[in-house]
Structure 1
Amino acid sequence: MQIAARFQGIAADLRGDAGEKDAAMAGLGDEDLLEVMAAIEAAGRALSAWQIRVAGEVGVRSRSELGDEGLSRSQNFTSPVKLVSTVTGTSARESKSRLEIGRRLRGTVLLGGGEGPAPFPAVAQALDEGSLGAETASIIASRCAELAERGCAPDVVASAEQTLVDETITNHLTADQTSRLTTHLREVIDPDGAEPRDERLQQQRSLTIGQASDGMIRGRFALTPEQGSVWLASIQAMQSPRIAGSPSSGPRFLTEDEYVAQTATADIHSQVQKNADTITELIARAAGAPDMPRLNGATTTLNVHITLDNLETGRGVGWIDGINEPVPASTIAQLRCSSPTAVTLFNDRGAVLYHGKTERLFTPAQNRALAARDGGCVWPDCDRPPSFCETHHANEWVSADHPPGRTDIDNGVLLCHFHHSHLHKSSWKLTMQSGVPHLIPPRWIDIEQTPIPTTRRRTTHRPAA
């Protein structure tokens, strides 16, 4: 218990209330303050070395082959990570990190119970001496372990380890600088490892995105280095305060007066908010490019629908096609000014206001209006979205009510291919009532053949009871 008592005494000597610490700091000059910071860091490194050594010992005594006799299981913990976390009060991530570096600095446990030579003696010595911080030691040991796993000769790995330790200590490198140094040294020693490393990164790339219950669209992403470089370069170019331009003129450097004026009136959005705005603008610009894929003949366009009354009064909500959460009328107004947006207006009965053209086939603009009104295939319980649908004339295009050449949105409905084909072959009928599509079932289903409203439109105003 002498070791424990020793550290308990150190902790007692260092304890003090906030007022005492603040008073001590206030009496220091600038150089003295920095000297104290360096001294505290040195003391912290010495303690970190002990934390890692102790965690490493816990890991060895908790190794899986010991079963229930291992330290962690004998203390009723399912893993050494949970044991260390409980004893120290640190996070599982921090506990795992200490166990990992502690394991790397220990020799392999031999069959007879002994321990082999330490794999990274230079790192271990510098850590114990306080010359290396725990984070830097972990970086060097991990990178050297990668070289060993790649089949590099032991003397090459040992030379790389010593070089990294010496460069870090001599040049007072930060952990970030050491990390970059290990990357450069790895490429010199193992240039053939780039291809398999890239293959692993390619397999790990991902983007998940979805709508949360509060209406926000959230997600996670992992980019390969080349993909990340495109994102970062694009964000930096668009956010640079010294760059301006327009789609026609291209980017240009600001004059000093322009730069000062913009800096003085700079916005107060956080950097993460600016990043989100920049990525959104980049995607919007790309979506409007002439060579982007077309859907039903139209470029990528936000389809927004709102009632005429709400648009005129600036109150209420509108809906963006594909998004379940409504947006306020003020957002609709903003989108109409600055985004490639098709706004579809509805009357108080939910019918799309007339904006058709006289053609045999429905136009892209009409298809967008129908998509906003119907929300997809109008057949009951069909979940096919607008992009999977075909446009059907509710009353035949050649009928007396709709003579040849007239194809209006108040006569069109969206049906998926299956239900479109089924409608033409079955006893079901489809008609329009007050601009809204209704299905008429066969008499064997409903003797009265009561029309069934089918649209999934979201801006319908239900009549008062």
Structure 2
Amino acid sequence: MQADVGLKKIASDLRVALGAARATTAGLSDEAVLELLADFEAIGRLASAGQVHTAGEVGVRSRPELGDGGLSRSQNFTSPVALVARVTGASARACKARLELGRRLRGAVLLGGGEGPAPFPLIAQRLEEGTLGTEAASGIVKQCIALADRGCSPDVVALAEETLVDQTILCRLTADETFRAAIHLREVLDPDGAEPRDEVLQMQRSLTIALAPDGMYRGKFALPPEQGGVWLSSIRAMQSPRVAGPRFVEGDEYTTADGRTAAQKNADTVTELIARAAGAEEMPRINGAIATVNVHMTLDDLEKGRGVGWIDGLDQPIPASTVEQLRCSSPVAATLFGDKGEVLYHGKAKRLFTAAQNRALAARDGGCVWPSCDRPPSFCETHHANEWVSDDHPPGRTDIDNGVLLCHFHHSHLHKSPWKLTMQGGVPHLIPPRWVDTEQKPIPTTRRRTIHRPAA
């Protein structure tokens, strides 16, 4: 009880100190603010050590062999995680981590009810001193246990514990750096363990995608190292600053110059990668055709640019603007229906631009023609400047004097925005909306450097 009273006094004093810090922080120098941050972190580490210690005690008192007499069940909780979460208000994930680390740091329960020697005494000591954080401690414990499970001697495990704890404290490593150091040391001490560990990871690989009630497709994935490397290297290559432009930080999210968050751009990049692969010559064919997306829409809606389209196999519709975008450059077989459901038109013989035409467009446009966009031709889609429903561009005509290169983002943006794109003198021009330019003067957009401008 005295310890409990002492902790309450410490908490009360800390509240006073926190209030004083909040009142004076704005007037502190940069160095003083960083020093204050470090002081609060030191206090937080000591508090976290206490959380882990007490959670470990709750875990021991709630162990399964105690049955209904265990602490958590006697308090009407199905698990110690639920009990700790209720008492602390922390998330189940955080409580589980505390219980796990607390259990790992305690010695085994002996037959007489006592406790055996602590398996990681140095980690426990540094935690109580506040010189080691709980996240770093968890990473070290995890890899030391992996070494023990692989049959490494207690001396080797103790050496790993000492090396990692000392390196973390002396080199002032972050928790992430400690995780990486622990994995590297594990491979040095147990090089033969890579194969069995990889077998476990390979069995855990997965990718699930399902339609959510809000119409979004959501899922989760788990990739072993080599597959994760393929994903990351491909995404990074397509998002290289040379082609992706600058990035800005807004809150906790990165945004790009075009306004997308990093997560949104990742989704667009993976979609673009899959679309490119689907159209590759070496891809498997179905009835002689590459992978296609079949979109159903009434002719009346398509001509008027309204309503929705329906993709085969999906329950959620897509808007008319997306249908228009897909018809420009995606391998889409569009099936058009009349008012009575009769098939009026199916597909177009020459809707997609040929490889030779795309090479000519690349030479002419130099990449995405949208102002300030620096996506190269290899990252672009071909857009029909004058849509197929217009009087001067009848169905089936796909000519280079009607084609324009746009990156996926600006292609989608054009179909949904009031901006218009036309061809004038063989050069693509953007027509801004009236709120941008009341005269709606066409803006030449090509990056080609050999166009002759008329003399002033």
**Same-fold call, TM cutoff 0.5:** yes
CA deviation string 1:165-201 (max 9, x = no partner): 0100110000000000001100011111111111111
Distance 1:112 1:51 in 2: 26
Partner amino acid, structure 1, of 2:239: Q
Tell me the residue number matched to 1:293.
284
| Cα deviation code 1:370-406 (max 9, x no counterpart) | xxxxxxxxxxxxxxxxxxxxxxxxxxxxxxxxxxxxx
Cα separation, 2, equivalents of 1:356 and 1:266:
36
Distance 2:7 2:18 in 1: 21
- Aligned partner of 2:87: which letter? V
Change (3 A) 1:265 1:154: closer
Query: Which of these two proteins has the greater Rg computed from alpha carbons?
Result: 1
RMSD, aligned α-carbons: 2.3
Code of the residue aligned with 1:127 in structure 2: it is: L
Correspondence for 2:298 = 307
Amino acid at match of 1:166: D
Say whether the 8 Å CA contact 2:45–2:132 is kept in structure 1: yes
1:74 CA drift (Å): 2.1
Q: Look up the SS of the partner of 1:272 in the other structure.
A: helix
Relative to structure 1, the CA distance from residue 327 to residue 356 in structure 2 (aligned partners, 3 Å threshold; closer, same or farther) is: closer
Are 1:45 and 2:45 an aligned pair?
Answer: yes
| Residue in structure 2 matched with residue 206 of structure 1 by the alignment | 206
- Aligned counterpart for 1:337 among listed residues 320, 328, 331: 328
The 3-state SS of whatever aligns with 2:148 is: helix
Task: Give the counterpart letter for 1:145 in structure 2.
Answer: I
Match of 1:318 among 309, 321, 324: 309
Residue 213 of structure 1 deviates from its aligned partner by 2.5
Aligned AA for 1:322?
A: G
Corresponding residue for 1:393?
A: none
Question: Residues of 2 paired with 1:126 and 1:120: CA distance?
Answer: 10
Give 1:259 shift. Answer: 7.7
2:344 corresponds to? 353
* Structure 1 residue 14 displacement after superposition: 2.1
211-220 vs 301-310, greater mean Cα deviation: 211-220
Shift of 1:21: 4.6
- In structure 2, the gaps of 5 or more residues are 248-254, 352-456
Q: CA deviation at 1:316?
A: 1.1
Q: Measured at CA, do residues 125 and 278 of structure 1 come closer, stay the same or move farther in structure 2, by a change above 3 Å?
A: same
Runs (5+) with no aligned partner, structure 1 = 245-257, 358-362, 366-465
Equivalent residue letter for 1:305: H
- Describe how 1:364-383 pairs up with structure 2 within 5 A: none
Rounded to whole Å, the distance in 1 between the matches of 2:13 and 2:69 is 37
2:312 maps to a residue whose letter is: D
TM-score (norm 1): 0.70
Residue 49 (structure 1) shift: 1.1
Name the CA distance, whole Å, in 2 between partners of 1:84 and 1:141. 22
Shift in alpha-carbon separation, 1:350–1:18, aligned structure 2, 3 A: farther
**Residue 111 to residue 259, structure 1, CA distance change in 2 (3 Å):** closer
Residue aligning to 2:259: 268
Q: Percent of counterpart pairs with the same letter?
A: 67
Aligned equivalent of 2:26: 26
Distance (whole Å) between structure 1 residues aligned to residue 304 and residue 148 of structure 2 = 70
SS, match of residue 221 in structure 1 = strand
Which residue does the alignment assign to 2:62? 62
Which residue does the alignment assign to 1:174?
174
Q: What is the correspondence of 1:445-460 to structure 2 with a 5 Å cutoff?
A: none
Q: Distance in 1 between matches of 2:343 and 2:13?
A: 77
1:18 Cα shift? 8.9
Cα deviation digits, residues 31-64 of structure 1 (max 9, x gap): 0110011011111111111111111111112212
1:278 corresponds in structure 2 to 269
The Cα shift of 1:78 comes to 2.0
Task: Give 2:132's aligned residue.
Answer: 132
Where 1:300 maps in the other structure, the secondary structure is coil
- For this pair of structures, how many residues does the alignment match? 343
Letter in 1 for 2:274: I
- Give the 3 Å change call, closer, same or farther, for CA 265–162 of structure 1 in structure 2: closer
